[in-house]
Amino acid sequence: MPQTQHVEKHFTASERVRDVVIGMSDGLTVPFALAAGLSGAVTKTNIIITAGLAEIAAGSIAMGLGGYLAARTDAEHYASERARESRETVEIPEEEKREVSELFEGYGLSGTLAKKAADEMSKDRRRWIDFMMRFELGLEEPDPRRARTSALTIAFSYMAGGLVPLAPYFVFKSMAEALLGSIVITLIALLVFGYVKGRFTVKKPLRSAWQTALVGGLAAAAAFAIAKFIA
Amino acid sequence: MPQTQHVEKHFTASERVRDVVIGMSDGLTVPFALAAGLSGAVTKTNIIITAGLAEIAAGSIAMGLGGYLAARTDAEHYASERARESRETVEIPEEEKREVSELFEGYGLSGTLAKKAADEMSKDRRRWIDFMMRFELGLEEPDPRRARTSALTIAFSYMAGGLVPLAPYFVFKSMAEALLGSIVITLIALLVFGYVKGRFTVKKPLRSAWQTALVGGLAAAAAFAIAKFIA
């Protein structure tokens, strides 16, 4: 099945990109917004560094471990659905053949041809089940190494993203300078990240760049406004 | 195509559940961990409330707006791939028919039957393209209202989740009491949330319950350790 393999490869690559995007967009945005928000409420940069690093630790573990468990859940869901389909091809083969036949008819095949195709397919049980998993249920077989890779990719992307907005708070002692530095460096990072992300996905890098920066900017502005209002 | 509609309904429902899960698991976990982390570093609960609310604002906007843009990107990706497939059925119809035929052969159909099925299918161009989108590319047609629904679901789930661990810091003036209250109430919330989530997904609610609580607990412990170490 060269087609299926091709699709799976494509699928895996885009999943990896998606993991980096998930981790890094939140990593750049949330610690940035938290730091900006606290800048409006506290007077010492070391509280912001503490809160920022605590947030990065919490966020990367929550997202990474969350990604790990989500990928494991996907794999188990696939296995249990596959076991069910497998059982059904033994217990109610005529019913299952009829489902394949109806599926083909739905895509414009004549009744006789659809029935014949379902009959031929059912001779190889493994491929028959492959077909039903993919087509009837719309499920791809997950890569078994995916759960761990996904967890680490998301977690490290989050950390890498999160250290960018915090860096100026390490460098500058003055809150105003640190905040300004964080805004400048993070907006640049968001624009670059959005641009690259946009090239990978919809091929509209410029629009992706300003949209990504906008999300980060809005989140930071909201956090700043709320913190200012309370403090 | 009753099958396709059935699958799409199923898909949409599980996507909604997934949005609630995405928002609420991070909402329960990250503000909880941030608050616990700051408890080890600052002496006043009002700094924790400020940081927590700033984090909730930042996180819900980042995740909600992020979800909105991701769903829009999915929809555009589908539209552009569909346009390409549509063009190819006009420009290189024989090539495209051969792809469908090879796909069928990969699932065990004989060469002649596969060719015949591809020929019949190609008579109805819309269904032919439907088939290729679904099978060759593995893409589902996204629900057009999904982007906005997804954004709001994720954002509100994040807020609802995030207010749980913060609540004790509003009630108790003593840091130790607030931290203890936050740990107790959040672990209970994580267990209940994990249990319900587990029923929706892999039908293993108990395992899901302790795993979800473990992620939150680990994130909070790491944040606490880091904040304590710095302060």
In a 10 Å sphere around its CB, with 0-12 CB exposed, 13-18 middle and 19+ buried, how is residue A181 labelled?
A: middle
Q: What is the pLDDT of residue B199?
A: 82
Could you tell me which of B59, B2, B68 has the C-alpha nearest to residue B27?
B59
Whether the model pTM is above 0.90: no
Is a pLDDT exceeding 80 seen at residue A3? no
B95 vs A contacts (CB less than 8 Å): none
- Per-residue pLDDT, averaged over A97-118, amounts to 84
pLDDT at B11: 42
Chain B residues inside the 8 Å CB shell of A27: none
What is residue A61's three-state secondary structure? helix
Task: Give B58 to chain A, closest Cα distance, Å.
Answer: 4
Q: Tokens 């909730």 identify what position?
A: B56
The pLDDT assigned to A49 comes to 93
Q: Residues 184..203 of B with a Cβ closer than 8 Å to A: which?
A: 201-203
Which of the residue ranges A164-178, A211-225, B13-27 has the most confident prediction, judged by mean pLDDT? Answer: A164-178
Rg (CA), chain A: 25
| pLDDT above 80: residue B138 | no
Our CA-based measurement puts residue A90 at a distance from the nearest CA of chain B, in whole angstroms, of 18
Contacts of B21 (CB under 8 A, 6+ apart): B157, B197, B200
ipTM of the complex: 0.75
Look at residue A11 and tell me whether its pLDDT is greater than 60.
Answer: no
Whether residue B2 and residue A102 make contact (CB cut-off 8 A), yes or no, is yes
Match 């494509």 to its residue by tokens: A10
Residue B119 near chain A (CB below 8 Å): no
Task: List CB contacts of A205: < 8 A, sequence separation 6 or more.
Answer: A194, A195, A196, A198, A199
Asked whether the beta carbons of residue B62 and residue A11 sit closer than 8 angstroms, the reply is no
From the list A49, A54, A223, the residue facing B223 with the nearest CB is A54
Across chain A, mean pLDDT equals 84
| Burial class for B156, CB neighbours closer than 10 Å (0-12, 13-18, 19+) | middle
DSSP, collapsed to helix, strand or coil, labels residue B153 as helix
Two structure tokens written together for B90 = 């006009």
pLDDT, tens digit (0-9, with 9 covering 90-100), for A174-192: 999 999 999 999 999 999 9
pLDDT over 70 at B172, yes or no: yes
What integer pLDDT is reported at residue B153 of this predicted model?
A: 92
Instruction: State residue A134's pLDDT score.
Output: 81
Burial of A213 (0-12, 13-18, 19+ CB in 10 A): buried
Q: How confident is the model at residue A202 (pLDDT cuts 50, 70, 90)?
A: low
